[in-house]
């Protein structure tokens, strides 16, 4: 885990071990984020002085769990965390689902500037007419039980979910187990000492 102090782009590059080209693309992304944030609320303003740790490293830590060529979906992508970062860093196609049209405009601009292999889906996750995703990710979208409601119909048989959660993860899991069975592995976040990554496979609703 990195120190909970502010992280610079250079420090991110060293911690993440990304190439110069990838770091340059992510720096262009960060520039757009800072510029667009002045007009629309993309991320919490309290995180703007530490975006490389709070958003980029937080997203990038999932990269070791992304398999090339596996269809991937980011539910409620917002400003593109984690899906856009993963698309850039892993050079893996992601569908970024977001219902806010202004945020979709931002995501399309990031895609254009960074040449990210991302498709922007403007609409609610429930309306996606596609199944068989090998990877579904979500960050700061909904409690675990609701995330499973959204993800399970879209998940392929061997697929997995990566949900980024905070301090209430134990409470959310207890509630989710009232309605779901699942295989779970928990990983501590490298970016936030309070954060947890849930790797969930084989979610099945309790009848």
DSSP state of 67: P
DSSP annotation string for 12-51 = HHHHHT--HHHHHHHHHHHHHHHHHTTTS--S-GGGGGGH
At residue 89, the pLDDT reads: 96
List, in sequence order, every residue forming a beta bridge with 195; answer none if it has no partner. Answer: none
Torsion of CA 78, 91, 134, 17, to 10 degrees: -90
At residue 183, the pLDDT reads: 97
pLDDT by position in tens, the chain (length 207): 555 568 999 999 999 999 999 999 999 999 999 999 999 999 999 998 999 999 999 999 999 999 888 889 999 999 999 999 999 999 999 999 999 999 999 999 999 999 999 999 999 999 998 889 999 999 989 999 999 999 999 999 899 999 999 999 999 999 999 999 999 999 999 999 999 999 999 999 997
Q: Cα 19–25–28 angle (5° rounding)? A: 140
At residue 5, the pLDDT reads: 67
At residue 1, the pLDDT reads: 52
Please state the pTM of the whole predicted model.
0.94
- Domains (ranges, CATH) in the chain? 9-205 (3.40.50.150)
At residue 30, the pLDDT reads: 98
At residue 130, the pLDDT reads: 83
Whether residue 145 contacts residue 172, with contact meaning beta carbons closer than 8 Å, is answered with yes
At residue 2, the pLDDT reads: 55
């Amino acid at each position: 885990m990195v120190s909970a102090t502010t992280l610079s782009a250079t420090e991110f590059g060293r911690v993440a071990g990304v190439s110069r080209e990838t770091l340059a693309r992510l720096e262009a992304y960060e520039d757009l984020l800072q510029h667009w944030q002045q007009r629309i609320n993309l991320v919490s303003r309290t995180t703007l002085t530490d975006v490389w740790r709070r958003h980029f490293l937080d997203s990038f830590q999932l990269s070791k769990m992304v398999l090339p060529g596996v269809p991937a979906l980011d539910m409620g992508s917002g400003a593109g965390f984690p899906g856009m970062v993963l698309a850039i860093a892993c050079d893996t196609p992601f569908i970024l689902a977001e219902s806010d049209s202004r945020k979709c405009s931002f995501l399309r601009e990031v895609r254009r500037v960074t040449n990210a292999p991302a498709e922007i889906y403007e609409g609610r996750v429930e309306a996606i007419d596609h199944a068989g995703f090998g990877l579904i990710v979500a960050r700061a979208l909904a409690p675990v039980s609701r995330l499973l409601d959204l993800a399970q119909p879209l998940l392929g048989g061997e697929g997995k979910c990566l949900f980024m959660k905070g301090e209430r993860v134990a409470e959310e899991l207890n509630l989710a187990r009232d309605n779901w069975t699942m295989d779970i592995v928990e990983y501590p976040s490298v970016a936030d000492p309070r954060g947890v990554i849930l790797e969930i496979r084989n979610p099945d609703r309790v009848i």
